[in-house]
Amino acid sequence: MRNDDHGPDGIPGETPRPGQAYQAFMLDASQQQALVTRLNRIEGQVRGIRRMIEEPRLCVEILQQLAAAEAALNRISLAVLKFHVEKCVPDGIEQGEAERSKSLAELVDIFDRFAK
């Protein structure tokens, strides 16, 4: 991921480019902890799925667990997307036409990725 490909989108560790004055939004500590807790749970699910495959288990049981893990990841994605839409996109829109266009193009790109 190149830094010049991203504007004020709140990516952790991102710094403003020279001449830009924008607020880089990042998840707060409580949001981070909630997401990390969910990710830890998903990590455990994936380890369990691996064990199911090694044991071997019925395909339908494995598929049910895969669907559950995928749904859990999708909920995390939705939480981060919600934050992005509520905090980062409005800030980009307020920065002027160039940043507005870039923020909206990034948002369309994100929706395109989720649609696949």
- Report the distance separating Cα 112 and Cα 108, nearest Å: 6
Domain spans of the chain, in order of start? 27-115
| The model's pTM | 0.67
Second-level CATH architecture of 27-115: Up-down Bundle (1.20)
CB within 8 A of 41, min separation 6: which ones? 72
Q: First and final CA of the chain: distance in angstroms?
A: 20
Q: What is the pLDDT along the chain (116 residues), one digit of tens a residue?
A: 333 333 443 444 444 444 444 455 788 889 999 999 999 999 999 999 999 999 989 999 999 999 999 999 999 999 998 888 888 888 778 888 888 888 888 889 988 888 87
Burial of residue 109, with CB atoms counted within 10 A of its CB: 0-12 exposed, 13-18 middle, 19 or more buried: exposed
- Report the distance separating Cα 108 and Cα 76, nearest Å: 19
